[in-house]
Structure 1
Amino acid sequence: MIRFLILAGLLTASTPALSQTSCRQALALGLDVSGSVDSQEYRLQLDGLALALGDPEVVEALVAQPSAPVVIAVYEWSAPGDERLVLDWRPIANLSDIREIQAILHTTQRANMGPSTGLGSALERGFALLEQRPECWTRTLDISGDGKGNTGRRPQDVSNTPNGVTVNGLVIGVDDDRTGNSRNLQIAELASYYTAYVIRGPNAFVETALGFEAYQDAMTRKLLRELQTIAIGQLSPSH
Structure 2
Amino acid sequence: MLRAAALACLTASPAPACETALILAIDVSGSIDTADYRLQAEGLASALTDPEVAEALVRDQVALAVVHWSGMDQQKLSLPWQRMLSPASVAGFATRAAALPRAYQGSDTAVGQAVDFALAQFAVADCRRHVIDISGDGQENTGFTDARARTRAVAQGVTINAIAIEEPGPAFPITSYYHSRIITPEGFTVTARGLQDYAETLRLKLLRELAEPIG
2:184 maps to amino acid: R
- Inter-partner Cα distance in structure 1 for 2:13 and 2:100: 35
The TM-score with structure 1 as length reference comes to 0.79
The TM-score with structure 2 as length reference comes to 0.87
Q: Is the 8 A contact 2:44 2:98 kept in 1?
A: no
Residue 20 of structure 1, CA deviation: 5.1
Moved more, 76-85 or 30-39: 76-85
Q: Is the 8 A contact 1:164 1:201 kept in 2?
A: no
- Inter-partner Cα distance in structure 2 for 1:105 and 1:122: 18
- Work out the number of aligned pairs and report it: 203
2:185 pairs with 1:192: no
Moved more, 145-154 or 18-27: 18-27
Q: Is the 8 A contact 2:58 2:84 kept in 1?
A: yes
Map 1:89-238 to 2 at 5 A. Answer: 89-113=81-105, 115-133=107-125, 135-158=126-149, 159-161=151-153, 162-174=155-167, 183-186=168-171, 188-202=172-186, 204-230=187-213
Q: Is the 8 A contact 1:23 1:71 kept in 2?
A: yes
Residue 209 of structure 1, CA deviation: 0.4
- Inter-partner Cα distance in structure 1 for 2:13 and 2:64: 20
Percent identical among aligned pairs is 36
Map 1:59-74 to 2 at 5 A. Answer: 59-65=54-60, 69-74=61-66
Q: Is the 8 A contact 1:165 1:201 kept in 2?
A: no
2:63 pairs with 1:57: no
1:122 maps to amino acid: A
Structure 2 residue matching 1:26: 3-state secondary structure: strand
Q: 1:38 aligns with which of 33, 39, 47?
A: 33
Q: Is the 8 A contact 2:31 2:106 kept in 1?
A: no
Q: Is the 8 A contact 1:32 1:144 kept in 2?
A: yes
- Inter-partner Cα distance in structure 2 for 1:189 and 1:130: 30
**Residues 39-76 of structure 1: CA distance to partner in whole angstroms, max 9, x if unpaired?**
000000011000000111111211224xxx10000010
Structure 1 or 2: more helix by fraction: 2
- Inter-partner Cα distance in structure 2 for 1:164 and 1:112: 29
- Inter-partner Cα distance in structure 1 for 2:208 and 2:17: 22
Across the aligned residues of Structure 1 and Structure 2, the Cα RMSD in angstroms comes to 2.1
| Residue ranges of structure 1 left out of the alignment (5+ in a row) | 1-15, 175-182, 235-239
- Inter-partner Cα distance in structure 2 for 1:46 and 1:138: 25
* Structure 1 runs of 4+ with >6 Å offset: 16-19
